[in-house]
């Protein structure tokens, strides 16, 4: 069953009888259970970029597998949806399972008090380490991925690479050499959708994988003000990469006024060879040049060493289990199901994903995914990936997009940009009252 709810509806329910907990799911489940005739209640936020069709296909497969019914209530995203969820949480009327943001936003739920701990389930290892880290508090794991993630990297036109006999570059030096080869052939090496300042951040934020390879404790140490941003060669290096491609003339003409749709068309047509963006570019291509999508490939933005390559990604909301769920075992079974190849196949049967699944050891290919997304999935499933820094550090100055825009156009150096970001972050940390700032 599919329902819609407004904030007014939630407030009307504020005085409802509190739901009671029927106990927690047994951690030592030894065999698949039958849930014939039972009903799982679900609160599903219609967040930006989420695939409702994929989720409903998973629900149908789950119902068929377990003989149960899933009663879905949809809520809008933003403040209205958040108000509904928090009212339900405070009154004990929240659904058995519900979607919510992860990372620092998880604290709003007071998960230790209100959410079931999934850390004791063997199958939780199916979820990527990066995602688990963003839904873990004091050793307890509280959510599983509710949708696909957004991976950053290099999307390239395979026909251009083949025509010019170019191999995928594995170091930044090789990448710049590839750009020069493409430029010499009269093709724009990179289409940059920089008319929107926020897009200029993507190559820089994607470099966080290499920051963590340099220092796995970077986010924690920076939050505690034990290190400075400028102490990290890899952090400054992400800004340097943007400076390099701008000052060496490897971007399309008028890149500061070029939007995502125009760049997607250039990539599909082969008038530009590459874009340094996220997998959501595929969503744009489905409307701009759908017949060209599978001519596109994916590889990580390279760094100094060919032996160290990986990707950074933006994560989806999570499904949480209400600690007061009426059907706790069924709720946990739903979360387990979402971590399986079976659930991935169900999702892909309804919609071709434009993002990657935050799951280990699952497969997507040209039969159920776009080629570039399937290639990005390989980097996620192999573990050569990390969530971007915002999931492990809440400090982010308001002027970062503007600063990135300046370095991405060659107006300031990488070193100047790093210092400006550091100074801007001090203001943000102080406004948030973070200790030590």
Range with the poorest average pLDDT among 28-32, 226-230, 355-359, 430-434: 28-32
* pLDDT score of 403 more than 80: yes
* Claim to verify: residue 258 and residue 137 sit in the same structural domain: no
Residue 437 lies in a domain: no
Q: Are strands 311-314 and 140-141 parallel, antiparallel or unpaired?
A: unpaired
Which neighbouring-strand residues pair with 151?
Answer: 313
Residue 341 lies in a domain: yes
Distance CA 180, CA 197 (A): 26
Which phi and psi (to 5°) does residue 210 adopt?
Answer: -75, -30
Among the listed residues 39, 45, 70, the one whose alpha carbon sits nearest the alpha carbon of residue 57: 70
Looking at 343, 362, 381, the residue that finishes a domain is: 362
Distance CA 205, CA 344 (A): 27
Q: Is 193 helix (H, G, I), strand (E, B) or coil?
A: coil
User: What pLDDT is attached to residue 92?
Assistant: 93
Query: Do residues 315 and 145 touch, judged by C-beta distance below 8 A?
Result: yes
Per-residue pLDDT averaged across 93-120, rounded? Answer: 95
Whole-angstrom CA distances from 339 to 56, 82, 121, 193, 319 are: 15, 25, 12, 34, 11
Residue 367 lies in a domain: no
* Claim to verify: residue 45 and residue 168 sit in the same structural domain: no
* Claim to verify: residue 103 and residue 218 sit in the same structural domain: no
* Claim to verify: residue 224 and residue 327 sit in the same structural domain: no
Number of domains in the chain: 2
* pLDDT score of 23 more than 60: no
| The dihedral formed by the CA atoms of 258, 261, 263 and 265, expressed in degrees to the nearest 10 | -140
* Claim to verify: residue 94 and residue 58 sit in the same structural domain: yes
Residue 368 lies in a domain: no
What the block records as the tokens of 20 is: 């009671």
Secondary structure of 226-247 as H, E, C letters: CCCHHHCHHHHHHHHHHHHHHH
The share of the chain scoring above pLDDT 70, in percent, equals 92
Residue 372 lies in a domain: no
What the block records as the tokens of 175 is: 């990448």
Q: Please, what is the average pLDDT of the chain?
A: 92
* Claim to verify: residue 308 and residue 321 sit in the same structural domain: no
pLDDT tens string 254-296:
999 999 999 999 999 999 999 999 999 999 999 999 999 999 9
Distance CA 193, CA 267 (A): 11
Per-residue pLDDT averaged across 309-314, rounded? Answer: 97
* Claim to verify: residue 167 and residue 204 sit in the same structural domain: yes
Query: Do residues 313 and 149 touch, judged by C-beta distance below 8 A?
Result: yes
Largest alpha-carbon pair distance within the chain?
71
Range with the poorest average pLDDT among 56-60, 297-301, 349-353: 349-353
Residue 33 — very low, low, confident or very high, per pLDDT cuts 50/70/90? low
Residue 384 lies in a domain: no
* pLDDT score of 313 more than 80: yes
Residue 412 lies in a domain: yes
Distance CA 305, CA 287 (A): 37
* pLDDT score of 173 more than 50: yes
Distance CA 78, CA 88 (A): 16
What the block records as the tokens of 417 is: 């940009």
CATH code: domain of residue 254? 3.40.190.10
User: What pLDDT is attached to residue 10?
Assistant: 40
Parent domain of 412: 150-313+389-431
Residue 11 lies in a domain: yes
């Amino acid at each position: 069953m599919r329902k819609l709810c407004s904030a007014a509806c939630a407030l009307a329910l504020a005085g409802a009888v509190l739901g009671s907990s029927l106990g927690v799911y047994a951690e030592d489940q030894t065999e698949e259970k039958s849930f014939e005739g039972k009903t799982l209640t679900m609160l599903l936020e219609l967040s930006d970029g989420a695939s409702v069709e994929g989720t409903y296909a998973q629900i149908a497969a789950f119902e068929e597998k377990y003989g149960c019914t899933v009663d879905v209530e949809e809520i809008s995203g933003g403040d209205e949806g958040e108000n509904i969820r928090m009212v339900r949480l405070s009154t004990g009327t929240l659904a058995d399972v519900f979607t919510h943001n992860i990372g620092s936003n998880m604290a709003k739920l007071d998960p230790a008090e209100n959410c079931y701990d999934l850390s004791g389930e063997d199958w939780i290892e199916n979820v990527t380490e990066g995602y688990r880290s963003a839904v873990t508090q004091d050793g307890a794991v509280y959510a599983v991925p509710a949708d696909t993630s957004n991976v950053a990297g290099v999307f390239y036109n395979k026909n251009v690479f083949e025509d010019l006999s170019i191999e995928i570059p594995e170091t930044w030096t090789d990448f710049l050499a590839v750009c020069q080869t493409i430029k010499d052939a009269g093709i724009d090496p990179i289409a940059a959708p920089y008319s929107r300042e926020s897009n200029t951040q993507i190559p820089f934020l994607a470099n966080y994988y290499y920051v963590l390879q340099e220092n796995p404790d970077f986010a924690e140490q920076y939050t505690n003000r034990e290190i400075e941003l400028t102490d990290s060669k890899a952090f400054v290096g992400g800004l340097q990469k943007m400076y390099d491609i701008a000052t060496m003339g490897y971007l399309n003409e008028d890149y500061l006024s070029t939007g995502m749709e125009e760049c997607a068309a250039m990539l599909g047509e082969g008038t530009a060879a590459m874009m340094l963006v996220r997998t959501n570019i595929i969503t744009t291509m489905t409307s701009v040049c759908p017949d060209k999508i599978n001519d596109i490939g994916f590889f990580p933005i390279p760094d100094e060493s060919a032996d160290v390559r990986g990707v950074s990604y933006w994560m989806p909301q999570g499904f949480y289990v209400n600690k007061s769920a009426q059907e706790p075992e069924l709720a946990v079974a739903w979360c387990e199901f979402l971590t399986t190849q079976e659930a991935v196949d169900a999702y892909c049967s309804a919609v071709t994903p434009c993002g990657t699944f935050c799951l280990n050891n699952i497969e997507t290919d040209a039969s159920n995914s776009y080629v570039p997304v399937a290639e990005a999935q390989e980097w996620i499933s192999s573990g050569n990936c990390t969530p971007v820094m915002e999931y492990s550090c809440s400090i982010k100055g308001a002027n970062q997009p503007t600063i990135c825009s300046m370095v991405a156009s060659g107006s300031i150096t990488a070193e100047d940009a790093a210092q400006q970001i550091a100074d801007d972050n001090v203001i943000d940390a102080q406004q948030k009252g973070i200790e030590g700032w």
